[in-house]
Amino acid sequence: MQPPENELSSGDARTLSFASYRIDPALLDRLLRYQRALVEALGERSSADEIASAHRLALATAGLSQAVVERALAVVRRFAGNREVAGRLRASVAALPPERSADVQERLAALDHELRARDDAGTIALLLQHEGELLALHRRFLRLGGP
């Protein structure tokens, strides 16, 4: 007999959190330097060569390797996406009739649970402390055509 679906997904999330990439304050500082440098170096309509050049410059500025940036930015992007959706939902709650706001509150609770279940608790706490800047950089990068 298999465990119920929610027990499987809960176990999967726990397993993922143990395997997640941990970000400490020093690495976050370097990631922020990387992101700032990258956004600064990218123009409105950058070519592939300009993007590659900006990426190399940002790596050098932050003192990071490609492998570290890929793994750490995956965590940061997942965090930023989660917080972006949560922010939009929070903004919409006031405009909803009371009978619909309960659904939004449930979705917000689910987003918070997903955020905390998937990644290392210390990493999430650190990212939450820098949420404003991380979201601002995420939005700027998306406006420039990033992933």
2: in domain:
no
17: in domain:
no
User: What's the pLDDT at 98?
Assistant: 80
14: in domain:
no
| % of the chain beyond a pLDDT of 70 | 85
Range of the structural domain that residue 102 is part of: 22-143
**Is 124 within 8 Å of 21 (Cβ atoms)?**
no
Question: How many structural domains is the chain composed of?
Answer: 1
Largest Cα–Cα separation, the chain: 57
| pTM for the predicted model, two decimal places | 0.79
C-beta pairs of 13-19 under 8 Å, 24+ apart in sequence: 13/114, 13/117, 13/118, 14/117, 16/117, 16/118, 16/119, 17/117, 17/118, 17/119, 17/120, 17/121
50: in domain:
yes
User: Which tens digits make up the pLDDT trace of 52-104?
Assistant: 999 999 999 999 999 999 999 999 999 999 999 999 988 888 788 888 888 88
**Is 34 within 8 Å of 61 (Cβ atoms)?**
yes
User: What's the pLDDT at 18?
Assistant: 42
